[in-house]
Copies of this chain bind each other. A is one copy, B any other.
Amino acid sequence: MRQSQLFTKTSKDIPADEVSKNAQLLVRAGFVDKTMAGVYTFLPLGLRVLNKIEDIVRQEMNNIGAQEILMNSLQPKKLWTDTNRWDIDILFKLKSQTNNEYALACSHEEQVTPLVKKMVTSWKDLPETDPKNKIFPLSVYQIQTKFRDELRAKSGLLRGREFRMKDMYDFHQNWDSLNAYYELVMQAYLRCFERMGLEVYPTEASGGIFTTIPSHEFQAICSAGEDKIYKVPSLGIFFNKEMAPVKAKPWNNLDETVQPRKDILAEGVIGVEEVAKCLGIPIEKTTKTLFYETQDQRLVAACVRGNYKINEEKLMKVAKKHLKLAPSDLVKKITGAEIGYAGLLNLPEDVEIYMDESCDNRKNFEMGANKTGYHSINVNFGRDIPWPEKFYDIKVVEEGDIYPETGEQYEVYTSAEVGNIFKLGTKYSDAVNFKFLDKDNQLKPVIMGCHGIGTTRCMAVIAEIYSDEKGLKWPESVAPFRFHLITHVNKKGDDSINQQIFALANQIYSGKLKLVFNQANQQIDFIKSNESEEILWDDRLNVSLGEKLTDADLIGCPYQIILTRRSIENGNIEIKHRATGQSFQVAIEKVLT
């Protein structure tokens, strides 16, 4: 493409309304235009990158036998009431002139399940995954625009109200087939991200509250990310924040002698740090107690050592029930104290108690006194509160925490989620009564998986990672163009050097180029490549060479081919490798086929 015909312009100014690096760079370099927070137009350069990302995803999904379809965004309300998801906050809803209600899809389980149901009656319609014999299950995917009513959309293209995603849904007659396909999808995802140049780790995440089935997030190490992931160094496995099993950082005071319990008046002192400071005790002696209400209005108490937070997902898994934070009046009724001064002392016997293992190995610890305004100190198991039958892990992982099985400290990375894979089981097939006739002549629910890759989000993460103070530096696989041809001619006249530059540029631009960067020896190699589609030619007149080079660094194509009067006079072409900043002077005849 000739840059003189490109309608977008670069900008030196950081857009005032963008705080994220990805959006700042992509807007400045003319890849995207912001319509409103979380909603962008993809301009010619940006669309080329997005198309390359999506083509990589498409190829890898086709390779595991998935069939591409294209579903709609406008969906009838009924699909969402069938699965009890009509009321989720992030679902955009709208009405027609005739008062029909529609959802604007944020995901397509609701639509794809009844769609595939029309095509399946028996086990014969559900091939079992058998990669050796190239037999793939019924798997469909689309690369399509999604809508989410996000409250906060401040991370540029990382978190959008309108964004693009590859979503895939697979359908199985048994769990073995789902499990085998899940592995294939995981490998295909890793190939996708590797091809895009992203360092991505499959991270164990929860499959939901009441399942022991893990799911996986694909987390790219990225300082602008919104997540943290926790690596077990010796095993090379990763957990997300909700899933990481934790043994508390070692701390004990077992050598203390048991002291008499005291209730200390400390009105208005509630947070553990304030409590520790006010009472003059280490924070490890404080105890955080939260009260939860079950669906049948009973109370559950959960405790962690003061410097931890309760992980509600872990708590619900060990309690095996749905819990929500108890209202203050209920807490007061049962414990006698306002929240903040409520603890385990003298609780009625029907309050279930879950105690985190961080509470163990302590003597003379603090706890709400169950009298408003008072904290108890020198609380001890056995004397003041019963020893729990069992200690659990119900805490949120913190930096410095330990993976219980190996005793190693987690390595913690900031990351951005670029994909995820789920074993849905029968959640959605049950919702729409999607059954198949099995070999044993029994009707059974179809077992499903679903798997997503955020393609616009991948673009944002690549922009975050592959950039420096000068601009973007795209990996070759997703660069808008592989080559940026920069010609600089003398304004004064149409002399022979100018003519030589134009003639040479035209040859290169028409595809007569044969250079490739050799990653191994960091040199330019001469291998024939037909790349006419992959050249952006900065043929602009009246733009200085300096400005062109600044623009080229901002736009970030991997190779800059620079034709100036001086280099031509020396019989050379300058090739600059954007990623490393290396420059090469190459003889003209070596570059052309």
Bound: A39/B74 CA distance, A: 7
Rounded to whole Å, the gap between the CB of A85 and the closest CB of chain B is: 15
Q: Measured between C-beta atoms, what is the minimum distance from A254 to chain B in Å?
A: 51
Is there an interface contact between A162 and B92, defined as CB atoms closer than 8 Å? no
Check B67 against A44 for contact (C-beta < 8 Å).
Answer: yes
Considering residues A71, A127, A140, which has the most beta carbons from chain B within 10 angstroms of its beta carbon? Answer: A71
CB of A35 within 8 A of CB of B72, answer yes
* Known A-B contacts A70-B42, A97-B89; A76 and B6 likewise in contact (beta carbons under 8 Å): no
Interface string of A87-112 (1 = CB under 8 A from B): 00100111011100000100000010
A73 at the interface (CB under 8 A from B): yes
Q: Does A145 reach chain B (CB closer than 8 Å)?
A: yes
Chain A 523-572 residues near chain B, CB threshold 8 A: none
Choose among B43, B71, B76, B120 the residue that contacts A69 (Cβ–Cβ < 8 A).
B43
Contacts of A97 in B (CB 8 A): 89, 149, 151
Q: Does A378 contact B (CB under 8 A)?
A: no
Is there contact, CB below 8 Å, between A118 and B33?
yes
Say yes or no: is A505 at the interface (Cβ < 8 Å to chain B).
no
Taken together as a complex, chains A and B put the C-alpha atoms of A138 and B140 apart, in Å, by 39
Cross-chain contact A98 with B151 (CB below 8 angstroms): yes
Q: How far is the CB of A281 from chain B (nearest CB, A)?
A: 43
22 example contacts (A-B, Cβ-Cβ < 8 A) are as follows A5-B136, A7-B119, A7-B140, A9-B119, A33-B115, A35-B74, A35-B111, A41-B69, A41-B115, A42-B69, A42-B71, A43-B69, A44-B69, A44-B140, A47-B69, A72-B145, A72-B162, A73-B145, A74-B147, A89-B97, A92-B94, A104-B104
The distance in angstroms between the C-alpha atoms of A35 and B118, with both chains bound, is 12
Docked Cα-Cα span, A336 to B452, in Å, equals: 71
**A47 and B68: CB pair below 8 A?**
yes
A8 at the interface (CB under 8 A from B): yes
User: What 1/0 mask marks residues of chain A from 355 to 399 whose CB sits below 8 Å from any chain B CB?
Assistant: 000000000000000000000000000000000000000000000
When chains A and B are docked, how far (Å) is the Cα of A145 from the Cα of B138? Answer: 27
Q: Does A504 contact B (CB under 8 A)?
A: no
Whether B72 and A149, one on each chain, are in contact in the complex, defined by CB atoms closer than 8 angstroms, is: no
Cross-chain contact A161 with B7 (CB below 8 angstroms): no
Shortest C-beta distance, A102 to chain B (Å), equals 8
Residues of B within 8 A of A93 (CB): 94
- Give chain B nearest CB distance to A82 CB in angstroms: 13
**Interface set, chain A 125-177, CB cutoff 8 A to B:** 125, 127, 136, 138, 140, 145, 147, 149, 151, 161-162
A116 at the interface (CB under 8 A from B): yes
Nearest B residue to A542, CB-CB: B124
In whole angstroms, what is the CA distance A44 to B141 when docked?
10
Q: A65 at interface (Cβ–Cβ under 8 A)?
A: yes
A120: nearest residue on chain B (CB-CB)? Answer: B7
Indicate if A409 sits at the interface (CB-CB under 8 A): no
User: Do the beta carbons of A75 and B35 come within 8 Å of each other?
Assistant: yes
